[in-house]
Amino acid sequence: MKTPPSSIGIVLRCLAPLARSARAVLCFLTVGGLLGLTACSPSESGKTAPPGNAPQAAAPAPPPPQVGVVAVALADVGLIEELPGRIEPLRIAQVRARAAGIVQQRLFREGADVKAGQVLFRIDPAPYEAALASAQATLARAQANLSQASALAERYRPLVAANAVSKQDFANAVAAQKQAEAEVLAGQAAVQTASINLGHTTVTAPISGRIGRALVTEGALVGQGEATPLAVIQQIEPVFVNFTQSANEALRLRRDFEQGRLQRATGSDAVLVRVLLDGGSIHPQAGRLLFSDLTVDATSGQVTLRAEVPNPGGVLLPGLYVRVRLEQAKAANAMLLPQQAVMRSNQGDTVMLVGADGKITVRPVKVGGSNQGQWLILDGLRNGEQVIVDGFQKIRPNQPVRPVPWSPPGAGATATAPRS
């Protein structure tokens, strides 16, 4: 005989299907949550979510700075000086009126080339022709008197030997003859003077060269009291170039010669000079050094030099200011560096080099002076070394750098680091 179910048992049997459904829902929610946590974990999402005490990863190092460098190539460097100079004519002559009178003709073209002896002006010759005629007449009268006095003296000579005339008369005749001879000589001198004055009425060129503008015109009265300037002739083929050099620089070069640091320039270019015109162009004809002034100008401290330069076509005009390029000596095993590459101080001159390991080192050097806007380095460098020229604002000693070839501004090379 079965026992009737209690009320509690009836309730549990009714809730059993619901319990099984609740456990299924709870299990589904638990699995979905685990999958969601796995998808959002830091290792899968790529997001950094370190614990509070974990260290952060280090940032990457910056690239080494870029610097412009030049490679050292030691060689014999010619010491070229550029000095200010001025063109002067080889010869200069002032044409002056040596005869007083009225200018009748001007027989040249201003600015033209003239030859020595060429007629330039004509002055009224009439007064001088008359003076010449008068001198010739006086000479003729003196010659006539000389003939008469000579005849009388010759006639008295045998008579005085025979005591036919007195010795006093013979002495008077001889004196008259000598006086007549003196008058003839004076007349000849007067004729010569008149001829010279007449010749001065035709003004000729004393030298060959280029004549300037006429200082007088036709109808001008010239030669009254002084020789009136008429024109100026300058010989400009070749020309002189006078230039100066600092006495201290000349002494420094001489000292370097004596100590063997510099060698004198050899070959055909040893005494040649080049003339630089306005705009940087070079005169095609080279000149030669003539002399060096042995004294120093007390006011400027300069030594004067002179060169003779061919001037075909008259390109170089007198008074023109030019620059003279002169090679004075050669420095053996030397190099020219841009001035910004050398750091000068009271402790000495130094440069920065890029070593084989890419790091910067500082090297003392010996500077021999300035040459064409660059420093001449006489000692302290070796072939193949890389000298820093650009990019100093980003570097320091023992720092690794990235060297790139440097080119002067305007050379069309690839741009390097900004110049310091």
pLDDT digits (tens, 9 = 90+) for 376-398: 888 888 888 889 888 887 777 77
DSSP strand E in 53-191: where?
66-71, 75-97, 101-106, 113-114, 119-123
pLDDT score recorded for residue 206: 93
Strand partners, 306: 242, 291
390: helix, strand or coil: strand
**Domains defined for the chain, CATH in brackets:** 90-235 (2.40.50.100)
The torsion region of residue 373 among left (phi > 0), alpha (psi -120 to 50) and beta comes to: left
pTM score, two decimals? 0.58
Q: Which of 320, 303, 284, 287 is nearest to 243 (CA)?
A: 303
Residue with tokens 């200082």: 215
pLDDT score recorded for residue 160: 82
Phi, psi of 96 (to 5 degrees): -125, 155
Residue with tokens 């070593």: 355
pLDDT score recorded for residue 84: 87
DSSP strand E in 74-118: where?
75-97, 101-106, 113-114
pLDDT digits (tens, 9 = 90+) for 194-232: 999 999 999 999 999 999 999 999 999 998 888 889 999
pLDDT score recorded for residue 40: 44
pLDDT along the chain (420 residues), means of 10: 47 48 45 43 46 57 81 83 87 92 92 92 94 94 92 88 85 91 94 94 93 92 87 92 83 74 61 80 84 76 86 87 81 86 88 86 85 82 88 79 80 43
Amino acid at residue number 308: E
Distance, in Å, from the CA atom of 417 to the CA atom of 66, rounded to the nearest integer, reads: 6
pLDDT score recorded for residue 418: 41
pLDDT score recorded for residue 27: 42
Distance, in Å, from the CA atom of 331 to the CA atom of 335, rounded to the nearest integer, reads: 9
Rg (CA), the chain: 54
Q: Which of 393, 390, 383 is nearest to 404 (CA)?
A: 390
**What secondary structure, in 3-state letters, does 262-312 show?**
CEECCCCCCCEEEEECCCCCECCCCEEEEEEEEEECCCCCEEEEEEEECCH
